[in-house]
Chain A
Amino acid sequence: MSALRRQWLWPIALAASTLIGLLAALIGEGGVWRSLCWVALGLPLATIAVCLLRLRNLPPSARQDPIDRL
């Protein structure tokens, strides 16, 4: 179970965030919903940025750390 969770927690959270963001600005009216849309859809992009930055900043030996510290 923990292996499954480690694998799928982030993908599911990001997919849910994307869908919430897509619908927020579509159904909600007003600035708050728009801001929520930008933040929720910005999360996947932020995730990519964090993973790529980690890739650059870590020495090769640390890159196989099996524990996710994101």
Chain B
Amino acid sequence: MTRRAVRAWVWVHRWSSLVCTLFALLLCLTGLPLIFKDELGPDLKLAATTAPPGSASVDSMVARALAARPGEVVPYLFYDREHPILKVPTAASMTDDPASFHYQVFDTRTGQQIEIPQPNEGFLYVMTRLHLDLFSGVPGTLFLGFMGLLLVVAIVSGVVLYGPFTRRLAFGVVRTDGSRWRTWLDLHNLLGIVTLAWFGVVSFTGVINTLAAPIELAWQANQLVEMAAQAKPAEIEGQRASTDAVLRDVRAAVPGMNVMTVAFPGTPFATPSHVAIFLTGNTPITSRILKPALADASTGQVVSVRDMPWYATALFMSQPLHFGDYGGLPLKIIWALLDAATIVVLISGLYLWWAKRPRRGGAVEAESSAS
């Protein structure tokens, strides 16, 4: 590589890193506890029972949730990937912001209500919001996505620079016989190149995850409308099919899949006259890919089942690769250790720039080890 090319790459690496470093650090630090979300989450204290999951009446749970919150409506039902529970949110209206939901949790085997703290408060919630959108909704998420994109640029330019900067060194050598700056440079290069693939994958899938809102909007505007158009709603005045009946029909229509989410008529994920049911499969990959089904709200009949479009599938596939929650506790620990290594890369990078930055009246020091 010519000297000029190295200089150009150094410039790209320096500035793409500097712009996003503080946010990248925030993401790495807040991400650390989020890896162990399940382990740190509330204890459900599930009762011992021989009843299979899903045997209790959902309609009864919804009725009890509404009775406890007079004047509110139930926009969605959320099942849990790991536990036999149903989260029933209530809100002032069907289109309310999910951040304002009040949740009640039920055991799907017995129908018993479980007392746990609201999921939208506490330490993990603060960490989640900082990691997801800096408490500023979709604009915050898209901003963090842009920072993640700069981080990907920093990782790529860092790999390009690894060549010229370690040309005379054996792999993994950290020189401690020179300046402190050189020692930290070697450490930065070692940790950076070793964690490169993991950091690249997590950063890139994180960027894809920030596109969730536009992807949802695209699905609502295209596929949802098409699905609803497949069958004329019965619209029998005042008649509402029971949720239990709808769930039974859907499970018969789409065997071998689990119901993850139910969106009631009037929410952005259903239509005014249909219930939308989102199902998932049983393997690490298919448990992430949602398959939507629409049921007529009056009769409860399933009118349409179809796969999500490719762009939504790309989003679902990138989720496990970002969370690291698909390989048991050992994988989570590996995730945390790799995260810690990248934190050292970020901080050492910041130090390398700070110690070498041009002082007033001083000349810019050339990168002596690269030529």
A residues bordering B, Cβ < 8 Å? 3, 6-11, 14-16, 18-19, 22, 25-27, 29, 34, 37-38, 41-42, 44-45, 47-48, 50-52, 54-55, 60, 63-68, 70
23 A-B contacts (beta carbon < 8 Å): A8-B163, A9-B171, A11-B162, A11-B194, A19-B197, A25-B331, A29-B283, A34-B327, A37-B331, A38-B327, A41-B331, A44-B195, A45-B337, A47-B194, A50-B172, A51-B174, A51-B190, A52-B174, A63-B176, A66-B168, A66-B169, A68-B171, A68-B172
Cβ–Cβ contact A44 & B194, under 8 A:
yes
Q: Which of B177, B196, B327 contacts A11 (CB 8 A)?
A: B196
B81 part of interface (Cβ distance < 8 Å): no
B-side contacts of A66, CB under 8 Å: 168-170
B240 part of interface (Cβ distance < 8 Å): no
Q: Which of A42, A45, A60 has the most CB of B within 10 A?
A: A45
Interface size on B, residues (CB 8 A): 37
Cβ–Cβ contact B338 & A45, under 8 A:
yes
A-side contacts of B163, CB under 8 Å: 7-8
Q: Which of A10, A26, A42, A45 contacts B171 (CB 8 A)?
A: A10
**A9 vs chain B, min Cβ distance (A):** 7
Closest partner residue, chain A, to B198 (CB atom) = A18
Closest partner residue, chain B, to A38 (CB atom) = B330
Q: Which of B170, B196, B331 contacts A65 (CB 8 A)?
A: B170
Interface membership of chain B positions 208-251, coded 1 if the CB is closer than 8 angstroms to chain A and 0 otherwise: 00000000000000000000000000000000000000000000
* A42 CA to B341 CA, complexed, in Å: 13
B122 part of interface (Cβ distance < 8 Å): no
B-side contacts of A38, CB under 8 Å: 327, 330-331, 334
Given A9-B171, A34-B327, A45-B334, 14 extra CB contacts under 8 A: A7-B166, A11-B171, A19-B197, A29-B283, A41-B331, A41-B334, A42-B334, A44-B194, A48-B191, A51-B173, A52-B174, A55-B174, A63-B175, A65-B170
**A50 vs chain B, min Cβ distance (A):** 7
Closest partner residue, chain B, to A37 (CB atom) = B327
Q: Count CB-based A-B contacts (< 8 Å).
A: 106
* A64 CA to B195 CA, complexed, in Å: 23
Cβ–Cβ contact A7 & B190, under 8 A:
no
Cβ–Cβ contact A10 & B201, under 8 A:
no
Cβ–Cβ contact A26 & B326, under 8 A:
yes
Q: Which of B171, B175, B285, B320 contacts A70 (CB 8 A)?
A: B171
Q: Which of B166, B197, B284 contacts A18 (CB 8 A)?
A: B197
**B305 vs chain A, min Cβ distance (A):** 24
B64 part of interface (Cβ distance < 8 Å): no
Q: Which of A3, A60, A70 contacts B177 (CB 8 A)?
A: A60
Cβ–Cβ contact B172 & A51, under 8 A:
yes
Cβ–Cβ contact A48 & B190, under 8 A:
yes
B255 part of interface (Cβ distance < 8 Å): no
B-side contacts of A10, CB under 8 Å: 171-172
* A29 CA to B284 CA, complexed, in Å: 8
* A34 CA to B309 CA, complexed, in Å: 29
* A34 CA to B285 CA, complexed, in Å: 14
Q: Which of A26, A47, A51 contacts B284 (CB 8 A)?
A: A26
B-side contacts of A47, CB under 8 Å: 172, 194
Q: A42-B334, A51-B190 are in contact. Are A22 and B170 (CB under 8 A)?
A: no
* A10 CA to B172 CA, complexed, in Å: 9
**A37 vs chain B, min Cβ distance (A):** 5
**A46 vs chain B, min Cβ distance (A):** 10
* A18 CA to B191 CA, complexed, in Å: 14
Closest partner residue, chain B, to A40 (CB atom) = B334
Cβ–Cβ contact A63 & B334, under 8 A:
no
Q: A11-B162, A38-B327, A44-B338 are in contact. Are A25 and B172 (CB under 8 A)?
A: no
